[in-house]
A and B are shown apart, each in its own frame.
Chain A
Amino acid sequence: MSSTAAAGAIDHHNDPTTSTGIPNKKLLMWAFLASDCMFFGCLISTHLIYRLHPPPGTPPARQVFSIELTSFSTFILLMSSLMMALAVNAIQKGNLKSMRWSLLTTIFFGCIFLGCQVYEFRNFVFEKHLTITNSILGTTFFTLTGTHGLHVLIGVIWLSGMLIYSFTGRLGEKDAIDVEMMGLYWHFVDIVWIVIFTAVYLLEYI
């Protein structure tokens, strides 16, 4: 999988056994993330198009959104990215205990983010009366942020699976690529939110 240097340290960035010099799993994940970029790009542009020309009856988004809650969610997701990066760093150094704590914190932050999103959706539906069917803003907004939320949920499940797997004793420094691949997915979820936060939420306040 990974090359071993003279002192026994594993080079986690290169793999001379593959034709590209990149671990195959990492290459697969980057290709997937590139395709996911296009998927989210279309969802974001659909939302922006309908915000450019809101059809009659569309409620003003500024009255619906809560910038405080969204900013808190953004901060939480950024911190979860930090913990994920530390988890990858820990497993690359063979520090399993540190990796477990970092993974646990990442899962915790991911759950907080999901909780905030559920609270936001409930608030929109029951108090602001914005549903996925009653306005075009609701349709594009819930589809976009819901798809992102689904990605976060998949990430949380993946992280939890990896955390449980680490207790079987079969996860070591040589398997760092598996944690790194998961980390790439998690950071991607974070960068998508960085774009959504600006394009969907902040632009409404200008």
Chain B
Amino acid sequence: MSAPATPAPSAGHELEKSKFGLYVEIAMLLAVITGLELVTVYLPFMKWLLVSVLVVLSTVKFMFVIFYFMHLRWDKAFCTILFFIGLVLAGGTMFALLKLFGSEASKPLALAEPPAPVYRIVV
């Protein structure tokens, strides 16, 4: 990889100073989103809509944590790519497993049926 561009010291120090407030703001935002998620599950809307809202809200939380708390926003892009390779593989595996085992054919038998009686003809 190429040599990194080192930011000017003054700009770097300003960034470090401003990070404290930024982290607190993000944490508050995450707490608010968690509250919204809790409210969402009790709303009388269609299931697919509520599930979509929950997925979006948790994705937003996820992204805020990885890009700000985990510094991906300020780190080299390769860190993001490396992590997203794992994330995409995990997501793909989850999708495949859910599709495969979520299908009608993979439903477990409701109740094990008793074996049919065997009759023997005794001569």
Contacts and interface: CB of A to CB of B under 8 A. Distances in A.
A79 B26 CA distance: 10
Given A30-B79, A82-B23, A198-B58, A45 B97 contact: yes
A92 B78 CA distance: 22
Interface residues of A, number: 66
Interface string B70-95: 11001110110011011101110110
B87 A34 contact: yes
A162 interface: no
Interface in A58-89: 67, 71, 74-75, 78-79, 81-82, 84-86, 88-89
Q: Give the interface size class of chain B.
A: 35 or more
Contacts of B41: 67, 202, 205-206
A21 B58 contact: no
Contacts of A205: 41-42
A38 B54 contact: no
Contact of A56 (B16, B51, B110): B110
Interface of chain A, main secondary structure: helix
B102 A49 contact: yes
27 contacts: A5-B7, A13-B71, A16-B4, A21-B76, A26-B79, A27-B79, A30-B83, A31-B82, A34-B82, A38-B90, A67-B38, A81-B69, A85-B68, A86-B20, A88-B71, A89-B16, A89-B19, A89-B20, A89-B23, A92-B16, A93-B16, A190-B69, A191-B62, A191-B66, A202-B54, A203-B51, A203-B54
Interface of B: 1-7, 9-10, 12-13, 16, 19-20, 23-24, 26-27, 30-31, 34, 37-38, 40-42, 47, 50-51, 54-55, 57-58, 61-62, 65-66, 68-71, 74-76, 78-79, 82-83, 85-87, 89-91, 93-94, 97-98, 101-102, 106-108, 110-111
